[in-house]
Amino acid sequence: MRKLLLAVAAAALIAAPGIASAQAPIVLKFSHVVAPNTPKGKGAEHFKVLAEKYTNGKVKVEVYHNSTLYKDKEELEALQLGAVQMLAPSNSKFGPIGIKDFEVFDLPFLLPNLASLRKVTEGPIGKKMLTLLDSKGMVGLAYWDNGFKQMSANKPLHVPADYKGLKFRIQSSKVLEAQFRLLGATPQVMAFSEVYQALQTGVVDGQENTPSNMYTQKMDEVQKFTTLTNHGYIGYVVVVNKKFWEGLPADIRGQLTKAMDESTAFANKTSAQENDEALADMKKNGKTTFIVPTPAEMAAMQKAMEPLYNDMASRVGKQLIDDVRKTAQGVTN
Ligand code: LMR
């Protein structure tokens, strides 16, 4: 009884106003795999600043970049176990935990521009997709952009025949796997943190990524050619551990939501510029030779990849593909 009374008294003390500030802050670990000077890296830092400000220091956000805590597959498991509280994996990385729908964004030539993407993610389709995460012990808070992907290898890539027989590193998405198979190449799933070395040592011949990811991982220094295909998109779903999120006091959850909303606006406003700057820096570096495909070459690539829409319908859902296509159509920047 005495023990119980002491415990109640201690709890009352902790709950007393004025003493709360002396309490240890709630630690929110935000782990990601890219460099700090990327759209996601900057978004995470922005969130840290705002979250700590709006909660008056009651929440401390620790950002771990460049896979310092976990690599791609591990980070999702760590989130589910509660070892970290927040992540922003790319859309292409949810398949292995049983959510295939986000792979719709891997379909090449699906989104003509970021405005069309936004219409999808910010509309009913995007909102509904976020709810799928609930059953996996996480809550989807937002979509963050990176940008459009380019192809790179040690040989010039112009038309589908150039890809034949080459090995390409891919993210863990069945759509991306099928994409490279259609081009006659061999796809190999690999964690982002291992790509530079795999390219350097010739474990793989090529890869696809955004200029920002390529530049900050120095991929341009180990790839002789980069073709500006803009064929596909990389973006992120910001997710938080569900138990952690729902266990937060309502006022703190509200403050973090405000910080996230503002960080999303910031990340999505600056992503295109980040990628433009990375592209300019790689051009200045002069390590990789840039190829601008002709309209005929682009048409050949698009034609070679078109069967994906049918082939992947059973995986990501025909209705979803049709809905995204319809929503994205006709939206101009
Ligand atoms: C990749 O694995 O290439 C990207 O998803 C990395 C990232 O998070 O942008």
- How many whole angstroms from its chain centre is CA 223? 23
CA of 327 to the centre of ligand 1 (A): 25
| Cβ atoms of residues 315 and 103 within 8 Å | yes
Do the strands 225-227 and 150-153 form a parallel or antiparallel pair, or are they unpaired? antiparallel
Intervals of CATH 3.40.190.170 along the chain: 2-146+235-276, 150-232+282-328
By C-alpha distance, which of 94, 139, 147, 83 is closest to 118?
147
Q: What is the pLDDT of residue 333?
A: 59
Q: Whose CA is nearest to atom 2 of ligand 1?
A: 192
Return mean pLDDT, the chain.
93
Task: Report the atom number in ligand 1 closest to the C-alpha of 169.
Answer: 3
pLDDT at 17 over 90: no
Rounded CA separation 73/38 (Å): 20
What's the mean pLDDT in 63-72? 96
- Stretch (H or E) spanning 170: strand 167-170
Task: Report the atom number in ligand 1 closest to the C-alpha of 72.
Answer: 2
pLDDT at 81 over 80: yes
Tokens of residue 15, six digits: 């709950």
Per-residue confidence band for 332, with pLDDT thresholds at 50, 70 and 90: low
CA of 276 to the centre of ligand 1 (A): 17
Per-residue confidence band for 23, with pLDDT thresholds at 50, 70 and 90: confident
Q: What is the pLDDT of residue 14?
A: 41
pLDDT at 198 over 90: yes
Per-residue confidence band for 139, with pLDDT thresholds at 50, 70 and 90: very high
Tokens of residue 327, six digits: 């929503």
The pair phi, psi for residue 171, each rounded to 5°, is: -75, 170
CA of 15 to the centre of ligand 1 (A): 42
The owner of tokens 């996480």 is 138
Distances (CA, A) of 206 to 169, 170, 329: 6, 9, 31
Condensed to tens digits (0 to 9), the pLDDT of residues 226-278 reads 999 999 999 999 999 999 999 999 999 999 999 999 999 999 999 999 999 99
What's the mean pLDDT in 301-309? 97
pLDDT at 316 over 70: yes
pLDDT at 15 over 60: no
Q: What is the pLDDT of residue 6?
A: 40
Rounded CA separation 213/193 (Å): 11
Condensed to tens digits (0 to 9), the pLDDT of residues 89-110 reads 999 999 999 999 999 999 999 9
Ligand 1 surroundings by CB, under 6 angstroms? 33-34, 40, 90, 146, 171, 192, 209, 213, 234
Rounded CA separation 176/208 (Å): 10
Rounded CA separation 175/232 (Å): 11
What's the mean pLDDT in 64-81? 96
What's the mean pLDDT in 162-174? 98
What's the mean pLDDT in 143-169? 98
Beta bridge partners of 225: 153, 289
Per-residue confidence band for 4, with pLDDT thresholds at 50, 70 and 90: very low
Task: Report the atom number in ligand 1 closest to the C-alpha of 192.
Answer: 2
DSSP three-state, residue 235 = strand
Beta bridge partners of 29: 62
Rounded CA separation 203/109 (Å): 28
Rounded CA separation 172/96 (Å): 7
By C-alpha distance, which of 74, 152, 147, 52 is closest to 105?
147
The pair phi, psi for residue 309, each rounded to 5°, is: -60, -35
Q: What is the pLDDT of residue 112?
A: 87
Q: What is the pLDDT of residue 1?
A: 36
Per-residue confidence band for 52, with pLDDT thresholds at 50, 70 and 90: very high
Superfamily classification of domain 2-146+235-276: Bacterial extracellular solute-binding protein, family 7 (3.40.190.170)
By C-alpha distance, which of 227, 221, 54 is closest to 155?
227
Among 32, 34, 63, 149, the mutation site with the greatest number of ligand 1 atoms within 8 A of its Cβ is 34
Cβ count near 262 (within 10 Å) = 16
Please state which CATH number belongs to domain 150-232+282-328: 3.40.190.170
Q: What is the pLDDT of residue 3?
A: 42
What's the mean pLDDT in 49-68? 98
- Stretch (H or E) spanning 187: strand 186-189
Q: What is the pLDDT of residue 231?
A: 97
Q: Which residues contact 128 (CB under 8 A, 6 or more apart)?
A: none
Output DSSP code: residue 249.
Answer: -
